[in-house]
Amino acid sequence: MGYALRIYEAFKDDETKARLLSEFIEQVEQVILNNQLSTRQDVTMSELKLTKEIEQVRGEIKEVELKLTKEIEQTRGEIKEVELKLTKEIEQVRGEIKEVELKLTREIEQIRADLTRDIEQTRGEIKEVELKLTREIEQVRADLKETEVRLTEKIHEVKISTIRWIVTLFITQTITIIGIIAGLFQVMK
C-alpha cells in the first residue's frame, strides 16, 4: 500500500485534508520515482562513456606498443646491417692486408728493414681499427639495451597510470552511487 493511500486512510475523517495530503504524497512519490529513473540512466550513460574511454586508452596503449616494437625491430635491423657492413669492411681490409703482405713478402729481400717496420705499423693500425670497431659495436649494443629498458619502463608506467586512473574512477563511481542510494533512503524516510 502506497503512502498516499495510507495518508488518506489516516485522515479520512476530514475528506478535504485527506484528499489534499494524499495527492501531495502521490506527487512526491512520482517525483522520487522520476529522479530514480533519471539517476539510473545517468549512471548507465556514465558507465558506457567510461567504458568507451577505457577502450580508447587501451587502443592507444596497443598502438604505442606496436610502434615501439616496430622501432625496436627497425633498430635491430639497422644494427645487423651495420654489423654486416663492418664485417664486410673488416674482411675487405683483411684481404687487402693479405695482398700487401704477399707483395711485401716478394720485395722483402730488397727492403727488409723498411718493410718490417711498415708491416708492424700496419698491424698496429689494424688492431686499433679492430679495437675501435669492437668498441663501437659494443657501444651500439649497450645503447640498444638501454633504449629497450627505457621503452619497457615507459610502457610499464603507462600501464600503471591507466590502472590507477581506472581504479580511481571506479572508486569515484562507487562513492557516487552509494551517495545517491543514501540520499534516496533519506528522502524515503
Confidence of residue 1 (pLDDT cuts 50, 70, 90): very low
Report the Cα 145 to chain-centroid distance in Å: 19
- Asked whether the beta carbons of 130 and 90 are under 8 A apart, the reply is yes
What is the rounded distance in angstroms from the CA atom of residue 3 to the CA atom of residue 25?
7
- Asked whether the beta carbons of 126 and 93 are under 8 A apart, the reply is yes
- Asked whether the beta carbons of 8 and 26 are under 8 A apart, the reply is no
Q: What count of other Cβ atoms lies within 10 Å of the Cβ of residue 131?
A: 10
% the chain with pLDDT above 90: 44
Confidence of residue 4 (pLDDT cuts 50, 70, 90): low
- Average pLDDT of the chain, as a whole number: 84
